[in-house]
Amino acid sequence: MIEFDNVSKTYQNKWTALTNVSFKVEKGEFLFITGPTGAGKTTILKLIYAEELPTIGRVVVNNKILNTIKKKEIPLYRRNIGIIFQDFKLLYDRTVYENLEFILKAIDFKDNEIREKIIRTLTRLGLVHKKDCYPYQLSGGEQQKVAIARALVKDPEIILADEPTGNIDEEASKEIINIFKEINLMGATVIMATHHQELPQILKKRRLHIVAGKIVYDGF
């Protein structure tokens, strides 16, 4: 479970990204966070990922209070979270296989586990034939699928996606959304930030709508 309890986030430049934000996400839920650019969507994902800490309030993920998390505890905590960015953030000097391998080595998976996990994940996403390609040899949709594979390869309980369809065409976007639906059906909690307000309605999923750092709508 994920819980935000009266969370506010103010940065050093005095810009307030979130104000008194409270909500809960149950295990296995699919939640959309919608709102205009700069509304605070990405800040919520960063707080869940422990990339940022709240200024006020409390963030709890799987019974762990993130306000007091120690830096040395963060890598272990993140083993259960996969994150996907709008701009992919792939390593462009490494192959598709090596991009996934890098993630698993960083969190100390054994060599005999790494190949099995990578091939299984790439096969699941229809990318195994691209494993020796470099990102610049792939389409935008394929690059986003690699970014998703990189998030999935460690079998996380929680998937965070920040505008995952923002830089790809409509056909690729539909495929990406279907992948997230399948991930959720297999038990993962999915939280997706998007400016496309129609997606939650199409998929009949819960939506938090944020404007200027405040939740103005929470429902279906």
- Residues 19, 68, single domain; the answer is yes
Residue 123 belongs to domain spanning: 91-155
CATH number of residue 204's parent domain: 3.40.50.300
- 109, 124, 155: which is the final residue of a domain? 155
| 5 lies in the same domain as 72 | yes
Q: Verify that 76 and 165 share a domain, yes or no.
A: yes
- Tens of pLDDT, residues 138-148: 998 899 899 99
Does some domain include residue 38? yes
What is the torsional sign of CA 24, 84, 114, 109?
Answer: negative
pTM of the model: 0.89
Structurally, the chain folds into a number of domains equal to 2
- Per-residue pLDDT at 85: 82
The rounded percent of the chain whose pLDDT value lies above 70 is 100
Q: What is the pLDDT of residues 190-201, one digit of tens each?
A: 999 998 888 898
Q: Are 84 and 176 in contact (CB under 8 A)?
A: no
Same domain, yes or no: 137 and 96: yes
Residues 10 and 62 in one domain: yes
Using pLDDT thresholds of 50, 70 and 90, give the confidence band for residue 91: very high
